[in-house]
Amino acid sequence: MEATLRILVIDDDEVDRMTVRRSLIKAGFRLQVVEVENCTEAIVTLQESPFDCVFLDYRLPDQDGLLLVQQVRQIGIRVPLVVLTGQGDEEIAVDLMKAGATDYLVKSRISSDSLARVLRNAMRVYQAEMEAALANQRLRESNELLIHKNQELEIQRQQIQIQNIKLVEASRLKSQFLATMSHELRTPLNAIIGFSQLLLRPGKRTLLPQQQDMIQRILNNGQQLLALLNEILDFSRVEAGRLDLRPDTIVLSDVVNATVNEMRSLADEKQLELAVQINLRRPRAFNDPNRLRQVLINLLANAIKFTDAGRVSVSVSDPSDNMVQIVVQDTGIGIAPEDFDHIFEAFRQVDQSRSRKHPGTGLGLAITDSLVRMMQGSIQVDSTLGQGSTFIVQLPRAVPLPEEATASLLPLR
């Protein structure tokens, strides 16, 4: 069943009002019709309650229909307005529509059919206008929301930028602190190491065996501490981009053998076999012997540290003229595949518990990785838990000169 329509008829002529009412009823509408005779009453009535459509005479006693249409729209009353014009008033139809009338109908053509058509049409147009206005309103609102969100994002971006600057500064201060602290600590430590070595010299036999043992321990601990400090110092240099390569022509087997021999006593202490295999077609390379030694020492120290029984081996080969490969293999505890990437991150250790068995800073592999990358090489790990690990380092036979190397130094993984 159709809903009852509230219709306002504005006309000072009673017969005309009745014609409109009757025609609409005849057309089959359920209606509630309110009738007024002039503009003033019309405005008051329209402000009091809503209507589904308004039929207004163009010629009204207090002012014309055009003014009324303008006034209704000006005060923001939303309702379909159909103007009933007299014969000869059609030319003002355009002005009426511009002013906000929904439609117009010449009085002489009023019939129940024409009125029904105009009413339905006016309500449809009005409905479409309302929907468009609503959609527009929503668009405006979401636009405003977007502008607001954008402003918030911009504020957040600025805050992040400020945080970033602070973080970079904090990180710089931390690296500086690490560098200064390890440097300052090294001076007294070198004195401790130097004097204990002096006291342990074979010529001086004035020490009791117990005292000699104590001094040996001071020396061992001092050297351990120095190695740690050097690691921290190197790390802070890497972070600050101040670690450089001093390449020279080297005989690879000499560097490798000498380094392995340095580590032999550590392997012996744990009764591990330490083997070296050199398989080079061309013996020379162009690299920084100290940094290459450092890479090897880090890998060997780990291999020995994380192996309780079996063997550690180093093999050097040159798969091509421009490439050198160093493989350090052990039969130790191994590394789970999900840790392969993490172990190269600074301060990362697989076992980070307080009760961990193996000492260390967690910087060795981070520094090694950076050094290898400075040499424009690569490092890979392959490992099986409980069976052992293999670290494969591939390097160009001739590493880049310092400026190029520093430029290629990427941040630590």
Binding site for ligand ADP (CB under 6 A): 298, 302-303, 306, 330, 332-335, 343, 348-351, 360-366, 389
Other beta carbons less than 10 A from residue 247's beta carbon: 20
In this structure, are residues 12 and 29 in contact, taking their beta carbons and an 8 Å threshold?
A: no
Min dist CB 166 to ligand ADP, Å, is 28
What one-character DSSP code corresponds to residue 174? H
Minimum distance of ligand ADP from residue 365's CB (angstroms): 3
- For ligand ADP, the closer of residues 202 and 359 by Cβ is 359
How does 151-175 read in b/e, with b if 16+ C-beta sit within 10 Å?
Answer: eeeeeeeeeeeeeeeeeeeeeeeeb
Q: How far is CA 18 from the centre of its chain?
A: 72
Measured from the CB atom, is 214 or 301 closer to ligand ADP?
301
In terms of CB distance, is 185 or 350 closer to ligand ADP? 350
C-alpha distances in Å from residue 119, one per residue of 115, 129, 175, 251, 301: 6, 15, 82, 102, 94
Question: Which of 154, 146, 13 has its CA nearest to residue 84?
Answer: 13
Q: Whose Cβ is closer to ligand ADP: residue 310's or residue 362's?
A: 362
Report, in Å, the least distance between residue 348 CB and ligand ADP.
6
**Residue of closest CB approach to ligand ADP:** 360
CB atoms within 10 A of CB 275: 13
| CB 334 to ligand ADP: min, Å | 6
Q: How far is CA 189 from its chain centroid? A: 44
* φ and ψ at residue 124, rounded to 5 degrees: -65, -45
Q: Which residue lies nearer to ligand ADP by CB, 97 or 276?
A: 276
Nearer to ligand ADP by Cβ, of 280 and 409: the residue is: 409
Q: What is the dihedral of CA 333, 373, 243, 233, to 10 degrees?
A: -20
The C-alpha torsion from 410 through 411 and 412 to 413, rounded to 10°, is -80
Nearer to ligand ADP, 17 or 305 (CB): 305
State how far the alpha carbon of 344 is from the alpha carbons of 58, 236, 339, 348, in Å.
Answer: 88, 16, 9, 7
Given the complex with ligand ADP, which of 222 and 364 has the nearer CB atom?
A: 364
**Smallest distance, Å, CB 252 to ligand ADP?**
22
Closer of 96 and 238 to ligand ADP (Cβ) = 238
Answer positive or negative: Cα dihedral of 357, 363, 366, 372. negative
Taking the complex as a whole, the smallest distance from the CB of residue 312 to ligand ADP amounts, in Å, to 9
In the complex, minimum distance from the CB of residue 306 to ligand ADP, in angstroms, rounded to a whole number: 3
Minimum distance, C-beta of residue 363 to ligand ADP, in the bound complex (Å) = 6
Give percent helix, percent strand, percent coil of the chain, each to the nearest 5. 55, 20, 25
The least distance separating ligand ADP from the CB of residue 343, rounded to whole angstroms, comes to 4
| Six token digits for residue 197 | 């070595």
Cα-flanking dihedrals φ and ψ of residue 396, to 5°? -70, 150
